[in-house]
Amino acid sequence: MNKKKVWDVISYVLLSVIALLLLGVVILRFIFFEVEIVGSSMTETLKDGETMIARRQGKAERGRIIIIDVPDRLSDVFTGEFLVKRIVAVEGDSLYCLGGVLYLKQEGETDFSALSEDYISSRTPDFSEVTLKEGEIYCLGDNRAPSKDSTEVGAFSVSDIFGYLDEDAIRLSRTSVWGTILKFLI
């Protein structure tokens, strides 16, 4: 094999690898994004200053942690562009809180049941019964005391969801090699 053919093969392989890496980065950017946790409303589940990898696609389900794009109508209440909260009720559900205990009646059920919330780190403020309309979700922080959430502003719309954080979401460390690489790619 002459030098030109060897060079052609090497350049073809290098260009293919570069193209695949670029395609991978583009795909990662459309599927995942980086989110920094700001504040204490999700403590102990998520810590202030922690950086996580969130997914853009998902389903609004009870118990899921979501990233909410703050609607313009609430810009005077929330200082940031995004909120990180947990969905506790979805459309058709009714809920209320009494004595710090959250009670939920799922759509189609006749009775309220106390929610088992082993992830909360402070007492839920009492509120009267709320029934969610089509496309609505009720979201609370896991650290209820300092959390600004649905208890103050009412239900959010499913269309306000910007992304989803799974319980096993990747936590990026500023000091790890993989954290640095993922931060660069995403």
Cβ atoms within 10 Å, residue 107:
12
Share of the chain above pLDDT 70, in %: 85
pLDDT at 113: 96
Task: Give the pLDDT score at 77.
Answer: 65
Query: Percentage of residues in the chain with pLDDT exceeding 90?
Result: 40
Report the sign of the C-alpha dihedral through residues 145, 33, 155, 152, in that order.
positive
- The residues that bridge with 143 in the sheet, in sequence order, are 122
pLDDT at 9: 85
Residue 178 has pLDDT above 60, yes or no: no
- Domains annotated for the chain, with CATH where assigned, are 34-185 (2.10.109.10)
pLDDT for the residue numbered 103: 97
**Residue range 75-90: mean pLDDT, rounded:** 82
